[in-house]
Structure 1
Amino acid sequence: MKIKIGYIIVLFISISSYGQSLQEYLNIAENNNQELQAMHYKYKSALEKVNEEGSLPNTTIGAGYFVQEAETRVGAQKAKLSVSQMMPWFGTLEAKKESASFKADAQLNVIDLTKRKLFLNVKTNYYQLFELNVKESIIKENIEILKTFEDLALIELENNRATMVDVLKIRMEKNELSNKLSTVVENFKAKQIAFNLILNQEENLSVNIPKNIEIFEGVNSFQKEMISENPQLLKLDNLHSALEKSELATKKAGLPTIGIGLDYLIVENRAVENLLENGKDIIMPMVTLSIPLFSKKYISKQKQLNLEQKAVETIKVETRNQLVILFEKTMANLKNAEVSIKTQLDNIEQADQAQKVLLAAYETSKMDFEQLLEIQQLKLKFQFKMVTSEMEYAIQKSTLEFLTTTN
């Protein structure tokens, strides 16, 4: 049998619906994912935290009535109104706002990381469906070929050029393929349900599966240095910056706090004629200074925050090392899969040539059904290896996108 055209062109092009179909499923997964929606709410909450941290302490307003009036030259004091506002040391509020802003950015990185993991999961299951779908087609094709062999063997049996053993071997092989087909079909159904559940949609919906997998020629565009843009590392950078600003805010919190205020005293008129400024109310501006004489807690808090920064730095080094290890492993797997695809293409072509030689010999001599079955089994093995390598290639490429691509 000839190699299907799809196996030849798979190294160069993909069907036009491939990218659109997969992208559509990614969009569905993103829109339907409850975890992502919850994280977006948390991000909005973190943004509101920035406004909270940038706000001044509550303004104090007071009012009092003199039960026993205090007499003054211009009259008795009847009531007192006061308002005061404490002001943190210069730059304290700004440092708190910046710390909260970095924490919000870290929450955004978590959203990005969660979305990347979701996309990788969707792609992995999508390509596993592709493998099962193509295997189903390959098995059906091979069953049809075996039916042709069976018909030939029966004809040869009538002409005493074959034995019943040859017919039975072909039938046994056909039964084995039918069993494999049943297994693949059931696995496809289970995987399709799992895929739909990942997308949080009706589990029995059919999935549009591509016939080919695009082999990406520009694998070198995935550079190890691009790992620095991975949200896992960006999150740690933002957390480190948030801790730095928190440390600065704590340091400033250990400095004096200034308060400004105003007292307004209501004075009653005296029953004295021609009294200068009789009953004149009193206005008294005030300034207070809160001095943290016992600042041990602020010093301790600064040390805590400094140690937490060192912890984040250590975690970042370890995280980056793990990402680099995964990058190198994934890149090696991708290149191995690419080589395997080309190798299996060559093997399938040679198996077809071997089949042609055996079939051509049928015209001049007795057909060797045992060799024909052997070649067909080899070809089936090569076809299975190829589609598995295609799936592996696509998954490894998706993993590289997870590690390096900036969304």
Structure 2
Amino acid sequence: MPILLLIVMCLGLAFSVSVAISIGLANILYLYTTNSSLLILPKEMYSAIDKFPLAAIPFFILAGNIMERGGISLRLVNFAKSIVGGVQGGLAATCVLTCMLFAAISGSSIATTFAIGAILIPALVRHGYPVNYAAALQATSAELGVIIPPSIPMILYGVTAQVSVGELFIAGFGPGILISGALIGYVLITARIRGYGKQDLDGRLSFFKATWQALPALMLPVVILGGIYSGATTPTEASIVAVFAAIVVGMFLYRELRPRDLVVALEKSVISSAVVMFIIANAGVFSYLITRANVPDHMAAWLIENLSNPYMFLLGVNLALFVIGMFIETNSAVIVLSPILAPIAISLGIDPVHFGLVMVVNLAMGMITPPFGVNLFAACQVAGISLDQIITRLVGFVLVICVCLLIITYFPPITLFLRDWVYPSHR
């Protein structure tokens, strides 16, 4: 019967039904055909969003919107452009680097998509990049929001797999930098081959001027991550700090944020948060039904029986998670699969922190792969295009992430080097 869920959902998407409605209809039909109580639907929808870490999502989205209207995002873009924007394709590289910087402030790929995409997608189009390429680039770059700490999926993995969240955060920098570098290399080569970005040098500030203007914005990651690493705040509390810090910087330092801008930012944040939460709620029911059908248990049993070698186990897990990430929301997948897969990985001698990063990076690709590509829908909303227009441009970006994932999977020092340096007891 689980195949019915996938068929109905895919049919809904094929007829341009929104992803949340498609998942919801699949859930309802599955409950009806299995003679299950429809009361499961509201119960599990509420359970899916009744999680304290998820409270960070609306606050980080609000922080992102405030940063956009308060001039913070623009100054981060100018700072990134002063570093990598001096070559053909530099504006596309600026998108990647800015998302990397913004990820250390927002902790949310959705917030990164809206805040940076609102500035860079129109700028990329003005400089001759196709709008669907700009949207695909923004959606992919925003994935760094859950890989560069702070990261909600890392928190959920740490809690469910009983692994130190601090170690996971430290370990996230290596994969995040690797993926950022790979994406920058890819967009620079693509720009050369396709003739994009020949005017990218226009409007570029000097490094020192851009750094001076962006200095208050660059201090935000220090405040937010410093609070988390020092233990002064939880990541969810840090999201509230991010909102207040963005207001202070935008209103009193840059003096570009007005009371009416706060109202607009609040309105946009409410709408965006409602959309995201509605998707998560429906995905939570979907995840519950998949779990009730024992799909994760059958998958784990198959992995243990057929993939006893650590290298083959990691390959099998990557393939399985890639498919799962396409259909199940990242946070839900982490919650469901971590308690099942992490003990198996540990029994095979795989470091749980390393395995956690493999899971997070892999499942994060679900944010840019249909049908449950949250970043895709956000980027399409900003760019004003439909989902089908962005799909063809995604292939190259997904392949780059896949190559990085294989390197992260089979070369653990990328993940563990910084962790072992900070925590010598693991050496």
TM-score range, shorter chain: under 0.3
Higher strand fraction (1 or 2): 1
Task: Name the larger-Rg structure.
Answer: 1
TM-score by length of 1: 0.24
